[in-house]
């Protein structure tokens, strides 16, 4: 499933072609994705102007000049592709231009199409249909079950070692399990938690309540660093993820532990070998030598 860097990369691709533009045509080629689309989905969106595109956790939020916000989740294999360059894009805004698309652009997987008055077309593909879209009242968006219990964004000032220390206090679960809890921190997933814990040299399995504040300070810094680097690299492409221009992310070439079982640890001067262990149904990659 795309994690925070992948979703942020998609947001960055959608914003220039949607923000400030009116949706002149919306086509829903099926009545549902993972969940049924709202019955008024096409009617509400057609003619609406998108005022802002932001990310919250792993959700994309397109605010409208109407009372609703379009909420979008990529699920396992959802992706957006943009065709037709923007006409008259503001100075400083990169035009989509010509694209080199990732494989599998089967038309039967193109489920939702948005067209703007500027001539851009945004198509949502989802072979597995685990993604979903909904219209949520903007004034009460923060109260919606999808958002009400979310923790702070890991790249925001609200995410700190002090806050993490409070969330970890007296907890016997490992830090990886707790960092994947979206109520503690929003948007983190399996890949980047493994990567950050390795950089911080913290065991994924050690009782989180026993981790000192100085080590949590480093962990917070490493979480921010790995996410920032992944966003700059366009995210990670493992199976289905691609950016809105069809390009694949490249951060998987910088993985220090994830999917590197049996290979040497990159932490200097560690001589350990990356191991894999199933934890809460997910593969945890770590170095048993330096992650204590």
- 103 plus 165 within the same structural domain: no
- Structural domain contains residue 138: yes
Number of domains in the chain: 2
In degrees, rounded to 5, the angle at the alpha carbon of residue 15 between the alpha carbons of residues 10 and 21 is 140
Same domain, 185 and 268: yes
DSSP string covering 180-191:
T-TTTSSS--HH
User: Does 151 fall in a domain?
Assistant: no
Domain range enclosing 41: 4-143
Tell me whether residue 282 is one of the annotated catalytic residues.
yes
**262 and 137 inside one domain:** no
- List the CATH number of the domain containing 18: 3.20.190.10
Single out the catalytic residue among 127, 254, 282, 288: 282
- The verdict on 75 and 183 lying in the same domain is no
Chosen domain end from 109, 143, 177: 143
Chain segment 96-144, per-residue pLDDT in tens: 332 233 444 678 899 999 999 999 999 999 999 999 999 999 999 999 9
CA-to-CA distance for 195 and 174, rounded, in angstroms?
Answer: 15
Tell whether 270 is covered by a domain: yes
The answer as to whether 149 is a domain residue is no
Structure confidence at residue 254 (pLDDT): 67
73 and 108 belong to one structural domain: yes
- 128 and 16 both lie in a single domain: yes
Nearest to 232 by CA among 54, 57, 5: 5
Residue 232 phi, psi (nearest 5): -65, -30
The CA angle 211-260-175, to the nearest 5 degrees, is 20
Catalytic option among 2, 5, 154, 175: 2
Calculate the average pLDDT of the chain: 87
Task: Classify residue 178: in a domain, yes or no.
Answer: yes
Q: Is 157 a catalytic site residue?
A: no
Which domain-ending residue is among 114, 143, 172?
143
Question: Residue 197's domain is classified under what CATH number?
Answer: 1.10.8.50
Q: Are residues 178 and 98 in the same domain?
A: no
Confidence (pTM): 0.85
**Is residue 169 in some structural domain?**
yes
Active-site choice (58, 176, 199, 201): 58
Residues 167 and 132 in one domain: no
pLDDT digits (tens, 9 = 90+) for 217-271: 999 999 999 999 888 876 544 344 344 444 433 444 468 999 899 999 999 999 9
Whether 172 and 100 share a structural domain: no
User: Is the link from the previous residue into 190 a cis peptide, with omega within 30 of 0?
Assistant: no
| Final residue before a domain boundary, out of 91, 117, 143 | 143
């Amino acid at each position: 499933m795309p994690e925070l860097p992948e979703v942020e990369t998609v947001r960055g691709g959608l914003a220039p072609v949607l923000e400030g533009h009116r949706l002149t045509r919306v086509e829903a080629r099926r009545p549902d994705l993972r969940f049924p689309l709202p019955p008024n989905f096409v009617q509400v969106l057609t003619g609406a102007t998108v005022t802002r595109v932001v990310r919250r956790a792993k959700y994309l939020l397109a605010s409208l000049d109407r009372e609703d916000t379009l909420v979008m989740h990529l699920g396992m294999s959802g992706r957006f592709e943009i065709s037709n360059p923007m006409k008259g894009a503001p100075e400083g805004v990169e035009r989509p231009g010509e694209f080199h698309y990732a494989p599998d652009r089967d038309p039967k997987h193109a489920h939702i199409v948005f067209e703007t008055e500027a001539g851009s077309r945004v198509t949502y593909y989802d072979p597995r249909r685990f993604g979903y879209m909904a219209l949520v009242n903007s004034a009460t968006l923060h109260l919606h079950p999808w958002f009400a219990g979310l923790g702070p964004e890991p790249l925001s000032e609200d995410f700190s070692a002090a806050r993490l220390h409070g969330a970890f206090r007296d907890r016997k679960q490992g830090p990886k399990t707790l960092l994947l809890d979206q109520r503690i921190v929003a948007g983190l997933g399996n890949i980047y938690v493994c990567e950050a814990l390795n950089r911080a040299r913290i065991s994924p399995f050690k009782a989180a309540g026993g981790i000192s504040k100085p080590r949590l300070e480093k962990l917070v810094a490493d979480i921010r660093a790995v996410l920032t680097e992944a966003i700059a690299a366009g995210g990670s492409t493992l199976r289905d993820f691609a950016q809105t221009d069809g390009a694949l992310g490249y951060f998987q070439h910088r993985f220090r532990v994830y999917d590197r079982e049996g290979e040497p640890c990159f932490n200097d001067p560690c001589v350990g070998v990356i191991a894999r262990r199933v934890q809460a149904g997910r593969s945890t990659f770590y170095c048993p030598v330096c992650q204590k």
